[in-house]
Amino acid sequence: MISHEIKKFLDIQKLGYVTTVDSDGKPNLSPKGTIIAWTSELLAFADIRSPDTIKNLQNNPYVEINVIDPLLRKGYLFKGQARIIKDNSLYEEILSNYRKKGIKSPINSIVLVDVSEVSEVTSPLYDMGISEQEIKSKWKKYFESL
């Protein structure tokens, strides 16, 4: 489900968004800079400063994660069920992986997402025949001008 291509994409992109639902049914969208493909069916992200996300997942494990390349305007939407781990061997293994990647922030727990669905997300600009290079160039110029 999570191909080698998607894993590489997640290794390059440093920001994604996780959506959960609170007990009142209201959505919660939270940026995460630690989303990784742990296996071909499992994503992980670190609970560094995620009290609302963790609280929501304890009540409702369903989650959507969106990771988009801001220049190419392409990415992936992942749907699945999350579980929170802490103080076990898998937690230690994933924590070690984050530390090797240079993440120094305290990590309270790790969220694992059993991915049930992956969809590619692309900008409508591609539907108009605009090339990936043209889109990348446009957004690169935009961000450089800020």
Domain span at 118: 4-144
Task: State pLDDT tens for residues 55-85.
Answer: 999 999 999 999 999 999 999 999 999 999 9
Q: How far apart are CA 132 and CA 130, in angstroms?
A: 7
Q: Supply the pLDDT for residue 137.
A: 97
Domains: count for the chain:
1
39 pLDDT above the threshold of 90? yes
Q: How far apart are CA 60 and CA 117, in angstroms?
A: 17
Q: Supply the pLDDT for residue 14.
A: 86
DSSP annotation string for 66-112: EEEETTTTEEEEEEEEEEEE-SSHHHHHHHHHHHHTT--S---EEEE
In the block, residue with structure tokens 């990415």: 75
Q: Which two tokens stand for residue 46?
A: 């670190």
Domain CATH for 58: 2.30.110.10
Task: State pLDDT tens for residues 16-34.
Answer: 999 999 999 999 999 999 9
Q: Which two tokens stand for residue 132?
A: 């990936």
Task: State pLDDT tens for residues 74-126.
Answer: 999 999 999 999 999 999 999 999 999 999 999 999 999 999 999 999 999 99
Contacts of 19 (CB under 8 A, 6+ apart): 27, 28, 29, 30, 63, 64, 65, 66
Over the chain, what is the mean pLDDT? 96
48 pLDDT above the threshold of 90? yes
